[in-house]
Amino acid sequence: MRSPLLPIGNDVLAPLQASKRLYQNSLIGAQNLESFNQLYAIFDRDFVPPASEITLTATTSEWLEDEPANTEEWWGIKIDFTMPVGMAVCFDLYSTPASQCKANPGLPDSTGAHSVSQGLREHIVNHLAWATFERGRNFKMASFDEDLQKLLPDTIINSSGSFQPDYTDSRFPCLARFLCGEHHVPVMLLGQDGRNYICQPTQDISIPAADCPSLIPNRSELIYDESQVMALSSDSDKVAIPTSLIDFPDDWYRGIRLSDQYLRTKFLGAMSVNALLHSYREELEASSRKGSDSVASWLITVAVVIALILFLSAF
Say yes or no to pLDDT of 125 above 90.
Answer: yes
Q: Are residues 139 and 235 in the same domain?
A: yes
Q: Are residues 198 and 234 in the same domain?
A: yes
* 294 is a domain residue: yes
Q: Are 158 and 223 in contact (CB under 8 A)?
A: no
Helix, strand, coil % in the chain, rounded to nearest 5: 40, 25, 40
Q: Which residues are 242's β-sheet partners? A: 196
* 100 is a domain residue: yes
- pTM metric for this prediction: 0.84
Q: Are residues 34 and 166 in the same domain?
A: yes
State the Cα–Cα distance between residues 98 and 69, nearest whole angstrom.
14
Q: Are residues 100 and 75 in the same domain?
A: yes
Q: Are residues 190 and 254 in the same domain?
A: yes
Average pLDDT on 125-143 reads 85
By CB atoms closer than 10 A (0-12, 13-18, 19+), residue 78 is middle
* 14 is a domain residue: no
Q: Which residues are 196's β-sheet partners? A: 193, 242
More confident residue, 5 or 300: 300
Say yes or no to pLDDT of 301 above 90.
Answer: no
* 137 is a domain residue: yes
* 1 is a domain residue: no
Single residue among 218, 242, 258 that ends a domain in this structure: 258
pLDDT (0 to 100) of residue 236: 86
Chain centroid to Cα 224, Å, comes to 27
Q: How many domains does the chain have?
A: 2
Q: Which residues contact 1 (CB under 8 A, 6 or more apart)?
A: 314
pLDDT (0 to 100) of residue 275: 81
* 298 is a domain residue: yes
Say yes or no to pLDDT of 107 above 90.
Answer: yes
Say yes or no to pLDDT of 47 above 70.
Answer: yes
State the Cα–Cα distance between residues 171 and 159, nearest whole angstrom.
22
* 3 is a domain residue: no
Q: Are residues 247 and 267 in the same domain?
A: no
Query: What is the residue type of 282?
Result: E
Q: Are residues 282 and 247 in the same domain?
A: no
Single residue among 216, 233, 258 that ends a domain in this structure: 258
pLDDT (0 to 100) of residue 308: 56
Q: Are residues 199 and 92 in the same domain?
A: yes
Q: Are residues 165 and 268 in the same domain?
A: no
pLDDT tens string 57-87 = 999 987 655 666 667 899 999 999 999 999 9
Torsion angle in degrees (nearest 10) through CA of 130, 136, 141, 143: 30
State the Cα–Cα distance between residues 310 and 32, nearest whole angstrom.
34
pLDDT (0 to 100) of residue 277: 78
Q: Are residues 90 and 205 in the same domain?
A: yes
pLDDT (0 to 100) of residue 210: 94
Q: Are residues 53 and 178 in the same domain?
A: yes
The model's confidence at residue 274, banded by pLDDT at 50, 70 and 90, is confident
Q: How many residues does the chain have?
A: 315
pLDDT tens string 231-262 = 999 988 999 999 999 999 999 999 888 999 99
Q: Are residues 140 and 249 in the same domain?
A: yes
Average pLDDT, the chain: 85
* 10 is a domain residue: no
Single residue among 258, 277, 298 that ends a domain in this structure: 258
Q: Domain span at residue 300?
A: 263-312
More confident residue, 288 or 40: 40
